[in-house]
Structure 1
Amino acid sequence: MAMSLGSSSSRRRRGGSRRAPMAEINVTPFVDVMLVLLIIFMVTAPLLNSGVPLDLPDSRANAMDNEAQSITISLDAQGNAFIDDTPVPAGGFAAALAGIEQMGDGPDVVLRADRALDYGRVMAIMGELNRAGLNRISLVTGRSSDAP
């Protein structure tokens, strides 16, 4: 009774090839998907500023840092007011401001007003903000323009 005890490597060479499991991960599809998502976010991020379409005036002022606790107030060309993209009924702006909770100095107010809007309407809104104790107001403008 003779048995052949050949090594496992000799068995593999004869025809029964067994492969060890691959321990590598192909990251190329993952990188492709991430680059596509990056491009999508880069294109859509500037469009997410505000839902109220305005024609902002131009200015040469430097850009400010965005604060974490801020309220955006927008005034469209017809003089309608919006608080964080929520329309405020006519005559109800003071009541809407009273509902805003204030901590410390209060939140920063970012005021966006259309270029075609009357200066008196913008000043009336700023007066209501002052009466409500919201004194830190930033005026938003469009892109930089040339020096006058």
Structure 2
Amino acid sequence: MAVNLGSNGGDDLVENAEINITPFIDVILVLMIIFMVAAPLSTVGVPVELPTSSAPQQPRPDKPVYVSIKSDLSVTLGEDAVARPNLGTALDDATKGNKDERIFLRADKGVPYGELMQVMNLLRSAGYLKVGLVGLEETSGGAQP
């Protein structure tokens, strides 16, 4: 180990103007991981109050197709409002014509049963026979009355 104890009175240290970007890269990587985890959780932003269900949870597909019936009886495909007569063509565009793809039907718990059946009939007449009903999981042990 050598030490320079020069007595020349000047400052021998050279200023380093480079920025250390390693902490910046670490922060960016952490933010990227947070967004990669949070993005799939925010797939559908249509506010619908779902009823609860005690059925076991099924595996979720990569890109599910949601048809929602809101409390005002309007129908949405994903997050876009769709007129009921145009639901079949909008589904064909969303599924690229694949009639075997499962359609997830969400309905507000205030929607009358007849309205739900009308939308299911529209799905069936469009050729989509694989329909899954979406509900919230029940948190208590027993069924509610």
Question: Is TM-score (shorter-chain normalized) higher than 0.5?
Answer: yes
Shift, 1:40, TM fit: 4.5
- Deviating above 3 A after TM superposition, structure 1's stretches of 4 or more consecutive aligned residues are 25-29, 42-47, 90-101
TM-superposed deviation, 1:63: 2.3
CA 1:29–1:68 in 2, change beyond 3 Å: closer, same or farther?
A: closer
C-alpha distance in 2 between matches for 1:29 and 1:99: 42
With structure 1 as the length reference, what TM-score do the two structures score? 0.67
Equivalent in 67, 79, 87 of residue 73 of structure 2: 79
Q: Secondary structure at the match of 1:110?
A: strand
Q: Structure 2 length as normaliser, TM-score?
A: 0.68
Once the two structures are superposed, what CA deviation does each residue of 1:92-145 show, in whole Å capped at 9, x if it has no partner?
A: 434544656433x52210111111111111111111111222111111112333
List alignment gaps of at least 5 residues for structure 2: 1-7, 13-19
- Amino-acid identity (%): 27
> Any stretches of 5+ residues in structure 1 without a counterpart?
1-14, 18-24
Are the counterparts in 2 of residues 111 and 137 from structure 1 also a CA contact under 8 Å?
yes
Structure-2 change in CA distance of 1:26 and 1:46 (3 Å): closer
The structure that has the greater radius of gyration is: 1
Whether 1:117 and 2:111 are equivalent positions in the alignment is: yes
Looking at structure 2, the residues matched to 138 and 45 of structure 1 have their Cα atoms a distance apart, in angstroms, of: 23
The alignment covers a number of residue pairs equal to: 138
After superposition, the CA RMSD in angstroms is: 3.9
